[in-house]
Amino acid sequence: MAIRNIRMDDDEILRKKSKVVKEITPRTEELIDDMIDSVHEYNGVGLAAVQVGVLKRICIVTVEAPEPVENEDGELEEVNPLIHNNGEDLIIINPEIIPQEDCDVTDNEGCLSVPGKFGLVTRPFHITLKAFDRNLEPFELEAEGLLARAICHECDHMDGILYTDKVEGELHDVSELMPEEEEEEIDEEAIPEEEATEE
């Protein structure tokens, strides 16, 4: 397993459509393991294969459960299980997203390929995901809130779409959201150019 370099938003590979995964080879297994290591190394919520230069319809999503909040009675409210996956590594291959209900939500969004920036993007609040796991076994799940947003964001990458294409208004610096000492950015100069691959 290894940490892979993240392609930046000016890399033309991010505008290409990824290809359907038809079989799981040892190289595919290695790619998935590297993507898991990489998304945690860069403190991301998700990572698509194209972001590490591989044109395959694969992504990883990992959303931590939020801290429970107290209600008016001082009791902890139950956290909606559809808005997170407990920080586990959700491996998504050849996905199909089905928006549920007529309810879109606008919220801040960022991307490892556009470091140091964020912007407002409108996405479905509730989705059904149909996809395949790392063994190419089909599965289906429902997601809401941040988990749904992260899945939609990563699946957009597979079609050459960046969140910046959907931003409402201007992009902002992350320094507007958090103190400077808490910012974590990728050192763009440390990322060498690599050739795209279909592995």
Q: Quickly list H helices, the chain.
A: 26-41, 145-157
Q: Is the pTM of this model over 0.85?
A: no
Structure-model confidence comparison of residues 67 and 172, the more confident one:
172
pLDDT (mean) for 39-52 = 96
Cα-Cα-Cα-Cα torsion 180, 184, 189, 194, nearest 10 degrees, comes to: -160
Longest dimension (CA), the chain: 58
For the record, the structure tokens of 19 come out as 């290809």
Arithmetic mean of pLDDT, 61-88: 75
Mean pLDDT (the chain, rounded): 87
Catalytic residue among 30, 154, 180, 182: 154
pLDDT value at position 197? 61
Q: What percent of the chain clears pLDDT 90, i.e. is strictly above it?
A: 71
State in words which class domain 12-65+80-99+127-161 has. Answer: alpha beta
Q: Could you state, in order of their start, the residue ranges of all structural domains in the chain?
A: 12-65+80-99+127-161
For the segment 128-161, what is each residue's pLDDT rounded down to a tens digit? Answer: 999 999 999 999 999 999 999 999 999 999 999 9
Structure tokens at 111: 């991307």
Residue 152, phi then psi, degrees to nearest 5 = -60, -40
Is 154 known to be catalytic?
A: yes
